[in-house]
Amino acid sequence: MPDTKTRKPVRISRTGMPAGVDLLHDPSLNKGTGFTEEERDALALRGLLPPRVHTQDEQVARTMGNFRLKDTDLGKYVHMIALQDRNETLFYRVILDHLEEMMPIIYTPTVGKACQEYGHIFRRPRGLFITKRDRGRMTNVLRNWSYVDVRIIVVTDGERILGLGDLGADGMGIPVGKLSLYTACAGVHPSQCLPITLDVGTNNESLLEDPLYIGIKEKRMRGQEYDDFIDEFVHAVREVFPHALVQMEDFGNTNAFRLLDKYREKMCTFNDDIQGTGAVALAGIYSALRITRGKLTDQTVLFQGAGEAAVGIANITTSAMVAEGLPENEARGRQWFVDSKGLVVKSRTDLADHKLPYAHDHEPVADFLAAVEALKPTAIIGVSGQPATFTQPVIEAVSRLNERPIVFSLSNPTSKSECTAEEAYTWSKGKAIFASGSPFDPVTLDGKTYVPGQGNNAYIFPGVGLGAIACEVRRVTDEMFFVASKTLANLVSEDDLAKGRVYPSLTMIREVSAAIATAVAEVACARDLAGKARPADLEEHVRSQMYVPDYESYV
């Protein structure tokens, strides 16, 4: 046991906060060289820092200089996580000031690589890991967290990380990354955010054989044992953090739909892969229809993939078509899926429950290209995690059938994208209205520059979460995602559309989140789902909740 007598006890300043080295080691309070002369005297920092006091802008410049020296995206990711561990306020200031450069690093596509290497780049724990060894004491584990007013929890069991599959406990990079976006994009205070990984084992043999894997080396928990584990977790959250919204993230298809169905009426929760993806894709379709001058009720959508994302998009698109006057059976009949075994049709006997509502009467079709020719879709949406499945013949076919085909290649990370922006524009001869899950650079073709939109869920879920916090929503409903989708689409400018971009610039993300949060809060108040009385000025109330990463004065 270390000799504690050789180390000074934690120093507390007259302001009641840590002082000296202990203050410098607290990322939520540390300002590094940004501490003023007065603070250095009052907080016992004199001599512990270089003498020069730097402004936050100067610190940002230093951070970006070092960031741009890194020669790999993974190196940049590690650099930024180290900053988050050291100086949280500066971390979020850097992100906000350089959002378009930072988003691909702190989240997709780089976060996918970070999760694949998580055990090898691991430096300092963030969030909570809960395993089956914690059965019977999950409330105690949750109470180990440093903050008591948690309002947003992002939780995963690591079974379906992006398009990369089962990464077990290494999937913690997803909750950490998502919550960074809650703060950066919507101003949810970092102290209100809690990332959680439910380590229920992994079936990934390479991880089970990796000596640096950070999780338990057991096969995945299944069946009743798994259900009991999740149930205890849900009850523990409701007891310890009663006002928290729980965002379920990257659960496998076998669990994602049924867990959402089981708990959505019992607590404040949603599944971003299903509902968030659905909302952001529908917003992109609405924007695309402003370009084509088409009607939503006239569209036929063909999905490459039939998992959580595909069903989520199909569900919300069906609801939107119904809202615009189409009978539900006709609206559902305009959504078609192709999975690994071909077109999803009624005659198949191998369909999972979540596919059945979209199994229509049609002869079997073996592959995606044949499905395009048979169904003549106006939009194709890739959410399969299978790269290069929107081939040149597919893009040429859908372009022959439509004057302006909608082509959304939404699988993440970039390595899993169904096609690139350049391929979509080139093969369609500039006709495609393209969006992707991961970012692609603008493409110049025949003298015209096309700016691809990124169908990033960060346009949706941070605003939904902010709205939930603002009025203490008791349940998250599909209507909230529908209004979030409409709000996002309405924020796309004519200039964006002229460039082919169906989403607003990421530089607008805080305005987008504030608008979505206000719309979500309006629904909550109108449907008696708010735990607080409606304020006189709801938008002003929402904006007052948004954290700004500027240094506070400690003296």
HEC string for 243-275: CCEEEECCCCHHHHHHHHHHHCCCCCEEEHHHH
- The whole-chain average pLDDT of the chain stands at 95
pLDDT band at residue 8, thresholds of 50, 70 and 90?
low
pLDDT at residue number 7: 59
137 and 222 within one domain: yes
CATH number, position 261: 3.40.50.10380
- 200 in a structural domain: yes
Domains of the chain: total: 3
74 and 179 within one domain: no
Distance between CA 366 and CA 372 in Å, rounded? 11
| Model confidence at 3: pLDDT above 60 | no
Mean pLDDT across 123-140: 96
Q: What is the pLDDT of residues 464-510, one digit of tens each?
A: 999 999 999 999 999 999 999 999 999 999 999 999 999 999 999 99
Share of the chain above pLDDT 90, in %: 95
Which domain covers residue 184, as residue numbers? 105-267
Query: How far apart, in Å, do the first and last CA atoms of the chain sit?
Result: 37
435 and 333 within one domain: yes
- Contacts by residues 225-230 (CB-CB < 8 Å, ≥ 24 positions apart): 225/132, 226/200, 226/255, 228/135, 229/132, 229/135, 229/198, 229/200, 230/198, 230/259
pLDDT at residue number 17: 82
pLDDT at residue number 344: 97
Mean pLDDT across 248-267: 95
- 505 in a structural domain: no
Mean pLDDT across 99-106: 95
256 and 322 within one domain: no
212 and 349 within one domain: no
CATH number, position 432: 3.40.50.720
Beta strands in 281-400 (DSSP E): 301-304, 335-339, 342-343, 379-382
Helix (H, G, I), strand (E, B) or coil at 65: helix
What is the maximal distance between C-alpha atoms in the chain?
A: 79
Mean pLDDT across 500-522: 96
Instruction: Give the active site residue among 92, 107, 286, 358.
Output: 107
How many other β-carbons are positioned within 10 Å of the β-carbon of residue 267? 17
366 and 236 within one domain: no
- 471 in a structural domain: no
Known catalytic membership, residue 346: no
Domain boundary (244, 267, 290) is at 267
241 and 281 within one domain: no
- 497 in a structural domain: no
Angle ∠(421,425,427) on CA atoms, nearest 5: 115
Q: Which residues pair with 246 in a beta bridge?
A: 153, 269
| Model confidence at 46: pLDDT above 80 | yes
Instruction: Give the active site residue among 76, 178, 416, 486.
Output: 178
62 and 115 within one domain: no
Share of the chain above pLDDT 70, in %: 97
Q: Which residues pair with 406 in a beta bridge?
A: 379, 433
322 and 299 within one domain: yes
- 371 in a structural domain: yes
- 470 in a structural domain: no
Known catalytic membership, residue 358: no
159 and 136 within one domain: yes
Q: What is the pLDDT of residues 412-439, one digit of tens each?
A: 888 999 999 999 999 999 999 999 998 9
403 and 344 within one domain: yes
* Amino acid present at 201: G
Distance between CA 193 and CA 245 in Å, rounded? 10
| 447 backbone φψ class: left, alpha, beta (φ>0; ψ -120 to 50) | left
pLDDT at residue number 163: 86
- 467 in a structural domain: no
- 543 in a structural domain: no
306 and 262 within one domain: no
Length of the chain counted residue by residue: 555
